[in-house]
Amino acid sequence: FFFDLESCKMRRRATCTLLTTCINWTFNKATSSSHSVKSFNRATFASSADQNSAWASLAYQSGFGNEFATEALKGALPHGQNTPQHCPYGLYAEQLSGSSFTTPRARNQRVWLYRIMPTCKHGKWQKTDSGLIRADFSRENVVPDQLQWGPLPLPGPEQPTDFLQGWATFCGAGSPELRHGMAIHSYACNRPMERRAMCNSDGDLLIVPQTGALRLKTEMGLLTVAPGEICVVQRGIKFQVLVDGPSRGYVAEIFEGHFVLPDLGPVGAWGLANPRDFETPTARYEDAEEPWTLVQKFCGALYEAALDRSPFDVVAWHGNYAPYRYDLSRFCAFNSVTFDHLDPSSFTVLTAQTLEPGVAACDFVIFPPRWMVQEHSFRPPYYHRNCMSEYMGNIFGTYEAKQEGFAPGGASLHSPMIGHGPDAHTFEQGSTQELVPTKSDPDALAFMFESTYMFRVTDFASNNLLHPEYTKCWAPLRPHFDPENIAAGYGNS
């Protein structure tokens, strides 16, 4: 047996050249819209015209948890290694770790960034006002009651408020210090974050817009998120939120792990949220020397540091740790085609698991438009006591189990082992309706953050926007039991 080292090296170089050519061809095809790659060289967003053109020509990479590779300048990604002695174009190599170095490969998340300046160069951190953001839930309120809130008010023109200033924490459990638990926030804003960027040390953010579209500038590129869509920005990724008017929505923050797609089991290979429908940005960068402020969320408190240039200076990156968006209308819902109302877990879009298999720190569940065809069944959601906390929000329309009071932008919380279910009117309707195939309201979309943790409610949420008469929605319920009539029930008693 003869081993020719030089021949192997030549074949390896030829293979790398071929792969490089394929990557560059794919990248150029993905970005060959009305805007050229060169447009995102120096001072990419110097004018509003540049900005509008940039946002109008966005390209995304398809897939969930992929090993992505993208460059805004051809050849900016090093080949064959991560930290060459000299990076292309004089860039710095910087790794962002989303998991520990020794996390098993199947769950290991990290990204290599090739940027104009490393992120360690910034001013001294100064603590700043955290507003209504909370993270120490040991000091918050234990409230076992079923709760319902109205929408967070949108700020008026006399009250300019950006995304970060408009945050309000409603409830949560655990601690970012121990990387255990989660928090639920709402936001209401009306102006962009102007030369301000946020970086969250505490956890991953799942953002659910309800009113107004968001434009997110991140280290990995740009993405837009409108009502009916969601996005996830993971721990440690810098981002800026731009809005064009009043905007409102919800945020789930997980202190542990990351969101993944739920296993499908006997459902098969496809269904629910399909991996191909998740979209991750392509590399875009700014080379602008101008004053910026970086806001770091650290153990629930906010700290500011001055920057002398834009933090969005990543020219190329590769890895599997990057923000993404998802259009909820692409969710392939499953429902019973014989009898009974299925458990809401069948509508899970994303899940963040605890160490106990099958038990979630946070499940993100939606209730999309769908056909209901169950025979001899009560079709609305059943009455329930859950071992999990259920925090619900309403994006559009009227939720099927609450005909009144649960407005778009509002929320409700049903804590572990506290009874809940359809209001009296919905029970009456579900007990007497003709059981023909029916499609739920095509203009309605509600969701749920479900968690194994028992939430404490913040002072703000305990004293603002509450519907004090919420529990009266069940007051008209009355017994229909008749030991002499096996057919007793609503409409038969």
**Pick from 234, 216, 217: nearest CA to 226:** 216
Specify binding-site residues for Fe cation: 384, 390, 420
- Residue 79 catalytic? no
CA distance 266 to 104: 26
d(CA 167, CA 181): 19
Closest CA to 147 of 381, 383, 392: 392
The catalytically annotated residue of 35, 318, 341, 467 is 341
With CA atoms as reference, report the closest residue to 20 among 72, 69, 85, 91. Answer: 69
Nearest Cα to Cα of residue 378 among 316, 326, 423, 433: 433
Biggest CA–CA distance in the chain, Å, is 93
Binding-site residue ranges for homogentisate: 399, 420
CA dihedral sign of residues 77, 79, 81, 85: negative
Amino acid at the residue 66: N
Which neighbouring-strand residues pair with 267?
none
Phi, psi angles (nearest 5°) of residue 63:
130, 165
Token pair of 256, please? 């542990």
Closest CA to 316 of 85, 69, 37, 95: 69
Structure tokens at 142: 């234990």
Could you give the residue numbers annotated as active site? Answer: 341
